[in-house]
Amino acid sequence: MNKNLFILTLSQIFSFTAAPVTVFLSGIIGSHISPIKSLSTLPMSISVVGIAVGAIVATKVMSKIGRKYGFILASIGNSLVSILAAYSILGQNFILFCFANFFIGIGMAFTHQYRFAAAESVEKNMAPKAISIILFGGIISAFLGPSFANYAKDLVSENLYVGSYLALALLTFIPAILFLFYENKSKLEVNLEYTGRSYLELISQPRFIQAITASAFGYAVMTFLMTATPISMHVMENMSLNKTSIVIQFHVAAMFLPSLLTGYLIKKFGHSNVIYAGVFLYGITLIASIFEQSFFNYMFALIFLGLGWNFLFISGTSLLVLTYKEEEKYKAQGLNDFVVYSVHAIGSLSAGIFIALTNWKTMNIICIPFIVLIILATIRAEILDKKKP
């Protein structure tokens, strides 16, 4: 744990609070201030689109000014946008609230770059462990953000939740202070243009395709099923909100708790084997959908869904680091995150439509082709890698 990695880990805890707060509150606030109730979840969806758009913005900005000042700028921006969200709630302005959530998503794209910065702060063989440490901080964020937001919701009398976003503004500003002590160690860290090989040359690498496929479709399957779970449990199966929230909490814990172990497993067994393990865990989730939907069935399925995501996302991210040169990193990382979070956005936006038209079992069946793609991309990369002279 060197200084940069320590700063990144602490910053992750505070910066990533924007994600659970958005999930926790944006739909509730949307239902209160939206002129059309069916659009209440639009702020959440727009924030996911913001992440996809921000993936390109984040890498472009940091290619010009470096990681340190890129992260400081993003932290200040996140704080200001959170204040804008608070102002929109105060004025009951739904359009402005959606606008603020879009830029919260762009800010989250910068936060997602922490994992690459962590990989760059250690030797390449230690990258999986460094990325795991960063993601492990997400579980603290998952409890810290909503707790602060809930505690501060009555801060401004007669305007519920304004205080929640003021609290988020404070939390997301803290990394700006922490990054003052961050060091750009690479000589190529600043003023990097999108140099090196072309995009076509990068994606012609089997390992590059394997990495993006594992991360993107691993994320899409997780988001698709997780987003549908509350509707399936509470609306379609008439289970209580309390039971539904417990399942989601255990799912989030399963997403982040194994992180420290995942890096060790990748180092010991290799990226492909951990990807296969992630696919196997997803398979358990799909099999669970065959049986009668009960509280414990959902709990079982969502825990394995979270574990599978952890294995696939960390494996895919750490494998990507091995596929590009230093001068290509922003180009490769920007392309990876644009694909990953665009697919993530599609999964999130389509989940509500599909669960309304179908059912939980069909939702799981829809995921099978995407899981097969992960397997095929991994097998192809393994075969072509063995053929190399």
Fold of 1-180: Growth Hormone; Chain: A; (1.20.1250)
Give DSSP secondary structure letters for 184-225: ---TTSSS--S-SS-HHHHHTSHHHHHHHHHHHHHHHHHHHH
Question: What pLDDT sits at residue 186?
Answer: 57
Q: Is the dihedral of CA 328, 16, 53, 169 positive or negative?
A: negative
Q: What is the pLDDT of residue 247?
A: 85
Question: How far is residue 36 from each of residues 23, 45, 100, 172, 378, measured CA to CA in Å?
Answer: 19, 15, 18, 30, 45
Average pLDDT over residues 189-210: 79
H helix intervals, the chain: 3-15, 18-33, 42-90, 94-112, 114-120, 127-151, 162-178, 199-203, 206-230, 241-256, 259-269, 271-288, 295-320, 329-357, 360-387
Mean of pLDDT values over 51-79: 93
In contact, 75 and 108? CB cutoff 8 Å: no
The pLDDT of residue 389 is 64
pLDDT tens-digit series, residues 265-278: 998 999 999 999 99
Identify the band that residue 105 occupies on the pLDDT scale cut at 50, 70 and 90: very high
Q: How confident is the model at residue 285 (pLDDT cuts 50, 70, 90)?
A: very high
Residues with Cβ within 8 Å of residue 282, at least 6 apart in sequence: 218, 221, 304, 305, 308, 312, 367, 371
51/317 Cα distance (integer angstroms): 17
Which residues are CB-neighbours of 73 under 8 A, at least 6 positions away? 61, 65
Same fold across 1-180 and 193-389: yes
Using CA atoms, how far apart are residues 81 and 94, in angstroms rounded to an integer?
15
Report how far residue 216's alpha carbon sits from residue 296's, in angstroms, rounded to the nearest whole number: 28
CB–CB of 117/4 below 8 Å?
yes
Mean pLDDT for the chain?
89
Domain extent listing, the chain: 1-180, 193-389
Q: Report how far residue 262's alpha carbon sits from residue 256's, in angstroms, rounded to the nearest whole number.
A: 10
- Residue 257 CA to residue 348 CA, distance in Å, equals 23
For residue 195, the model assigns a pLDDT of 64
Q: What is the pLDDT of residue 192?
A: 54
Q: What is the reported pTM?
A: 0.81
At the second CATH level, the architecture of 193-389 is Up-down Bundle (1.20)
